[in-house]
Amino acid sequence: VKTIEEIPFLPIQFFKTKKILSSSDQIKETFTSSGTTGSLTSKHFVTDLSWYENSYLKGFNHFYGNIEDYVVLALLPNYLERKGSSLVYMVDDLIKKSNHSDSGFYLNNLNELAKKLVQLDAQGKKVLLIGVSFALLDLIEIHQFQLKNTVIMETGGMKGRRKELIRSELHAILSKGFGIDKIHSEYGMTELLSQAYSTGNGLFNCPPWMQILTRDTEDALTILPKGKSGGINIIDLANYNSCSFIATQDLGKVHQNNEIEIIGRFDNSDIRGCNLMVL
């Protein structure tokens, strides 16, 4: 292998059926995907959590600046109901690192969250509200906002609670409900230790140690040129414990400026995870 394009990418399904590990060190944490009852879940074995922590902290800083500048509010009810969520691990640490007494998780106490959002925004505090799509929709159904200092970041997913929406439709509803111009997005998954972010246009950017390529849907070893839609392959150098080269079941396109558009999922792939809406 002489070039990136020649690297064989590991099909993401292997995380469900095999132990993907590139270390003989003791496993410190096992992150698991959320699956429907009875379905196989992905397991990501991590021997050194500092790689994950460095990745998400530096990734957040790369796009948003110092986490200490933010009050972090999390609306992730379904993720707190189970153990092993890499998203909850990350957000919980961001809440602690923000070092702000108002930062925290909100489960089903939406009225309390609404009051807190209005209060903090009016005080001019920089606020990050990160939430799963259905919970953000629940929130704006009980309260309409006009926010000026708050970043709303959706992590995707209706979890069977609501009808699936395409991202542009979801963002239009959320923008109106929160009274803001744009909705941010986080793109991550159990099998990765890095995240891509969209700052409001539905197009994602990766931190420097993460790169997305697209492959031919009929020939998995053929990497497509920019501008062509195909299966998403991800290089994540933070995946030091497992495998840094993952062939996902997502469909997308890499634009000429390296921004990534997430289009949907392969028809035969499992409906799971926090990162995507099904088209």
* pLDDT tens per residue, range 102-145: 999 998 789 999 999 999 999 999 999 999 999 999 999 999 99
Instruction: Return all residues near 125 (Cβ < 8 A) that are at least 6 apart.
Output: 71, 102, 149
Instruction: Return all residues near 110 (Cβ < 8 A) that are at least 6 apart.
Output: 138, 139, 142, 143
Dist CA 233 CA 33 (whole Å) = 19
Reply yes or no on whether the pLDDT at 21 is more than 50: yes
Q: Are strands 203-204 and 260-265 parallel, antiparallel or unpaired?
A: antiparallel
pLDDT of residue 265: 81
Dist CA 157 CA 161 (whole Å) = 9
CA 159 to chain centre: 14
Reply yes or no on whether the pLDDT at 198 is more than 70: yes
pLDDT of residue 188: 95
pLDDT of residue 5: 86
The answer to whether residues 137 and 166 touch, using CB atoms and an 8 Å cutoff, is no
pLDDT of residue 51: 96
The answer to whether residues 51 and 240 touch, using CB atoms and an 8 Å cutoff, is yes
pLDDT of residue 38: 58
Reply yes or no on whether the pLDDT at 197 is more than 60: yes
Q: What phi, psi does 85 have (nearest 5°)?
A: -85, 120
Reply yes or no on whether the pLDDT at 272 is more than 50: no
pLDDT of residue 12: 96
Arithmetic mean of pLDDT over the chain: 91
Average pLDDT of the residues in 245-270: 87
pLDDT of residue 159: 63
> pTM score > 0.85 for this model?
yes
